[in-house]
Amino acid sequence: MEYLIQYGMFFAKVATIVVAIIIVLGAIVSSGSRQKKADKKGSIRVTPLNDHFDEMRERLRESVLDKDQLKKIHKQEKKAAKAEHKRAREKEKQKTKEGSEADSRAVDDRKKRSYVLNFKGDLAAEAVTALREEITAILTLAEKADEVILKLESPGGMVHAYGLASSQLLRIKNAGIPLTICVDKVAASGGYMMACLADKLVSAPFAIIGSIGVLVQVPNFHRVLKKNDVDYEIVSAGEFKRTMTIFGEITKKGKAKVQEDVETIHGIFKQWVKDHRPSVDIDKISTGETWVGMQAKERYMVDEIKTSDECILTACETADVFELEFELKKSIQDKLSSAIPGIVEKVLMSWSNKSRINDYQ
């Protein structure tokens, strides 16, 4: 028994030392990660979508077509590529002969480029951090002959956050670069504030569009505190520094002020939509309602009904298409913390789906 006790004490000491070492190493790694993050905010990852789709098509061909068919197609493509190369060489020779005049037309002669961005918005429009970096990168290279395609998904959120996101899109328009926005699932409230900036706004048939309204929700526990003889004091300067709070008493004057502010923001929102989509009947669509894509088109809220996939594949026919994604540098701790909510959400969704299946059995 004494031997076991001594062994247990030894094991406890070893375990303590190991844990201490792990904590120290973790602190060092964390410090290094923070330093690296401070040194470099992130990087732009660029994916040439033309190559991506060509690779997918080639893999499908190899699986579906027989050798003779595949050989015939490759022969035709090789012939077409050779002819295109010949035309490019002749054009280059012509430029050399014409000298400086040709140089002035160099930008016009090159192939159009389309830049694809993704914006998946939450309540605080956190994706604007990456969006502003991606747009900055594009504006260093893009010409007016090019195009930006934004795949937008957002149910809306905070006014100031989506105001900033919309301002980032204005940078593209101010540079004179055509902006196409595609909505596959939802662009409501702040999401539609962004979407209406498009030169061409495309929606999937059943995407949710609209919700041109403003909402303020504040839970209030004043009566609970009063019932339990709990005082809640606010010291402020300025008559309307605080109007509606969680614990303070909601007065008629305070509520009226909040209502006034909401109406003011709603008016600005309506004017914003009207300025950028003058074809809409703003009074009919600014009721806070939402519509599916097909209904939104009838109300001139969108220009065309199709998916982002169709837009991008069409762009690949005439342009070099590149998808940009700004990637923030993340430490191991950040990656774990960001992964946990996703895992929990998947587990809850799995339980929910199983429950629904059982309900129908």
Whether 141 and 112 have beta carbons less than 8 Å apart is answered as no
Burial (CB < 10 A; 0-12, 13-18, 19+), residue 151, is: buried
* Cα–Cα distance measured from residue 11 to residue 16, given in angstroms and rounded to the nearest whole number: 9
Q: How far is CA 2 from the centre of its chain?
A: 64
CB atoms within 10 A of CB 306: 15
| Cα dist from 92 to 76, 101, 151, whole Å | 24, 13, 36
Whether 30 and 333 have beta carbons less than 8 Å apart is answered as yes
Whether 174 and 144 have beta carbons less than 8 Å apart is answered as no
DSSP per residue over 272-300, as a string? HHHHH-TTS-HHHH-SS-EEEHHHHHHTT
φ/ψ of residue 8, rounded to 5: -65, -40
* Cα–Cα distance measured from residue 161 to residue 20, given in angstroms and rounded to the nearest whole number: 43
- The catalytic site residues sit at 189, 241
